[in-house]
């Protein structure tokens, strides 16, 4: 079917309907962010936990949650940041960061603590042309080894 300028469209959406749909999606996203921010503002005034009382809990343990809407670590972190920016000296701020080391490391997530285990390699088996199983390629070399290789290629 030809569109209004005589060309065949690549989708079933016409330009106007597509623009309306994109506008709707952007509006929904903006409203969701505004609601999340409003909830955070309400909860941060209701609950003011001291980050020094933070303790690591299991994922399933909801007994230490303050709010139904904002995760406890976010509320602790909010208080931590408020105090951090109230520090009068750089040394005081660094001492505070050092004191909160375990709390901050927990916020980093699995990606920065050695990575999430990727099970996709265990789900598939690659075979070569002879039908023999191939070892999956894993690049776990250190940066200095890559630097050595780079220098040897430049020579």
| pLDDT tens string 63-93 | 778 888 888 888 999 999 999 999 999 999 9
State the pLDDT at residue 118.
54
State the pLDDT at residue 86.
94
Backbone φ and ψ for 135, nearest 5 degrees, come out as -75, 130
pTM across the whole model: 0.55
Query: Per-residue pLDDT for 101 more than 80?
Result: yes
Query: Per-residue pLDDT for 114 more than 80?
Result: no
Query: Closest Cα to residue 62, out of 49, 50, 71?
Result: 71
State the pLDDT at residue 117.
53
3-state secondary structure at position 49 = coil
Q: How confident is the model at residue 121 (pLDDT cuts 50, 70, 90)?
A: low
Query: Per-residue pLDDT for 139 more than 60?
Result: no
Q: What share of the chain is helix, strand, coil (3-state, %, to 5)?
A: 55, 5, 40
Q: How confident is the model at residue 119 (pLDDT cuts 50, 70, 90)?
A: low
Per residue in 41-62, pLDDT tens? 999 889 888 888 888 887 767 7
Query: Per-residue pLDDT for 128 more than 80?
Result: no
């Amino acid at each position: 079917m030809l569109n209004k300028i005589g060309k065949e469209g690549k989708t079933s959406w016409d330009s106007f309907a597509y623009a309306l749909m994109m506008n709707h999606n952007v509006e929904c996203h903006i409203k969701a962010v505004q609601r999340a921010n409003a909830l955070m503002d309400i909860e941060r005034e209701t609950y003011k936990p001291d980050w020094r009382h933070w303790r690591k809990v299991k994922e399933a343990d909801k007994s230490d949650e303050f709010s139904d809407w904002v995760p406890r670590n976010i509320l602790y972190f909010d208080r931590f940041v408020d105090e951090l920016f109230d520090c009068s000296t750089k040394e005081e701020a660094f001492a505070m960061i050092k004191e909160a080391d375990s709390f901050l490391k927990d916020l980093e997530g699995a990606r920065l603590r050695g990575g999430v285990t990727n099970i996709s390699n265990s789900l598939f088996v690659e075979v070569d042309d002879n039908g023999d199983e191939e070892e999956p390629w894993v690049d776990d070399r250190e940066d200095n080894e890559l630097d050595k290789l780079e220098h040897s290629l430049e020579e």
